């Protein structure tokens, strides 16, 4: 059984994928149970994520379902191996209710190979400097101590480190007000913009600015993150933050609108080169006098 006696994000993803593959092969749970010599009840628990599937069982099921793609098989076998793997974020002492609810999202983000983010209000988390993160954190009413703020900053920087080591692709569309609006200080503002310019030069990172005038495009959807895995270009998970939690959408019909929304946002935004030039020009307009002020 997954750690804690309840489904983990990885076991749920694996189970949902195995169920989809079984249905695509027009087989029922009895066929799956016979292939791995278990009960249909266990197959049901595997498909719900309540039970972690063994790597050997996954291989037999993939053979039964006719899955020959080597990359897909490798991805699902890795999910089986890592279903109960301890997440890096558990090494932190969660002193903030906000952080305490991040586990599922961090698990999904850690495994992603392609991350898309739309953000009309803030700089996306993976692109933030520590100083910018701290300013946002201190404005959060749930964070009531310096220790809690420190923890949030450390976790966000660790998220960035994990992302950089993974080699995943990242594409962000940011509405102009989130970039232009004054930040806690001119110094923090300029440093954040310089960081965006630096990141935008990396081959796996694409940053686009949506002009303020494109208000119609900006209203196609609230802020969200779309996550893809392995060789799949289409998102498999959509995540949206609320005041109290992160909402995770995994139903393909529910996700379709967000996929179209991101395509519309990218089309309406400045190109990556134009965006980098826009950010650099804004950064250079923040003078030393501004910083001292």
**pLDDT by position in tens, the chain (length 293):** 454 445 677 888 888 889 989 999 999 999 999 999 999 999 998 988 888 889 999 999 999 999 998 888 988 888 888 877 766 666 666 555 555 567 778 888 888 889 999 999 999 999 999 999 988 887 766 656 777 778 888 888 888 888 988 889 999 999 999 999 888 789 999 999 999 999 999 999 999 999 999 999 999 999 999 999 876 678 888 999 876 667 888 787 888 899 999 999 999 999 999 999 999 999 999 865 455 44
- The helix or strand, by DSSP H or E, that contains position 9, with its residue range, turns out to be helix 9-24
71 and 94 assigned to the same domain: no
The pLDDT of residue 71: 82
Tokens of 153: 């900053």
- Asked whether residue 123 falls in the same domain as residue 213, the answer is yes
Q: What is the CATH number of the domain that holds 26?
A: 1.10.260.40
* pTM, full prediction: 0.78
> Could you tell me how many residues make up the chain?
293
Concatenated DSSP letters for 195-257?
HHHHHHTSTTEEEEEEPTT-HHHHTSS-SEEEEE-TT--S-SEEEEE-SS-EEEE--HHHHHH
Q: Which of 82, 112, 145 is the last residue of a domain?
A: 82
**CATH assignment of the domain containing 132:** 3.30.870
64 with 170, same domain: the answer is no
Mark whether 157 and 288 lie in a shared domain.
yes
CB-based contacts of 229, cutoff 8 Å, min separation 6: 13, 75, 111, 112, 113, 114, 236
Pairing of strands 114-119, 169-175: parallel
Range of the domain at 72: 3-82
Residue 148's pLDDT is: 72
CA distance 278 to 85: 42
Which helix (H) or strand (E) element contains residue 118? strand 114-119
- Last-in-domain residue among 57, 82, 107: 82
- The backbone torsions φ and ψ at residue 225, rounded to the nearest 5 degrees and listed phi first, read -125, 130
Q: What's the total number of domains in the chain?
A: 2
Contact 88/162 with Cβ under 8 angstroms?
Answer: yes
Q: What is the pLDDT of residue 231?
A: 65
pLDDT for the residue numbered 92: 67
What's residue 193's pLDDT? 96
Stretch (H or E) spanning 11:
helix 9-24
- My answer on whether 66 and 135 are in the same domain is no
């Amino acid at each position: 059984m997954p750690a804690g006696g309840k489904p983990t994000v990885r076991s749920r993803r694996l189970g949902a994928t195995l169920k989809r593959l079984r249905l695509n092969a027009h087989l029922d749970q009895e066929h799956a149970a016979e292939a791995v010599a278990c009960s249909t009840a266990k197959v049901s628990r595997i498909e719900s994520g309540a039970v972690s599937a063994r790597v050997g069982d996954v291989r037999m099921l993939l053979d039964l379902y006719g899955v020959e793609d080597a990359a897909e098989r490798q991805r699902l076998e890795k999910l089986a191996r890592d279903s109960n793997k301890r997440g890096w974020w558990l090494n932190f002492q969660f002193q903030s209710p906000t952080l305490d609810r991040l586990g599922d999202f961090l698990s999904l983000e850690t495994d992603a190979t392609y991350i898309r983010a739309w953000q009309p209000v803030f700089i996306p988390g993976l692109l933030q400097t520590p100083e910018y993160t701290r300013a946002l954190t201190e404005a959060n009413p749930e964070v009531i101590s310096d220790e809690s703020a420190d923890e949030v900053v450390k976790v966000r920087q660790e998220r960035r480190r994990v992302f950089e080591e993974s080699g995943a692709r990242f594409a962000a569309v940011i509405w102009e007000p989130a970039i232009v609006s004054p930040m806690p200080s001119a110094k923090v503002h300029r440093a954040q913009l310089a960081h965006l310019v630096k990141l935008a030069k990396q081959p796996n990172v694409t940053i686009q600015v949506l002009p303020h005038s494109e208000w119609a495009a900006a209203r196609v959807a609230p802020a969200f993150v779309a996550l893809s895995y392995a060789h799949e270009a289409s998102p498999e998970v959509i995540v949206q933050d609320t005041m109290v939690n992160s909402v995770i959408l995994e139903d393909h019909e529910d996700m379709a609108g967000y996929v179209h929304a991101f395509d519309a946002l990218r089309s309406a935004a400045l190109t990556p080169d134009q965006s980098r030039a826009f950010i650099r020009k804004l950064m250079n307009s923040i003078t030393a006098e501004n910083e001292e002020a």
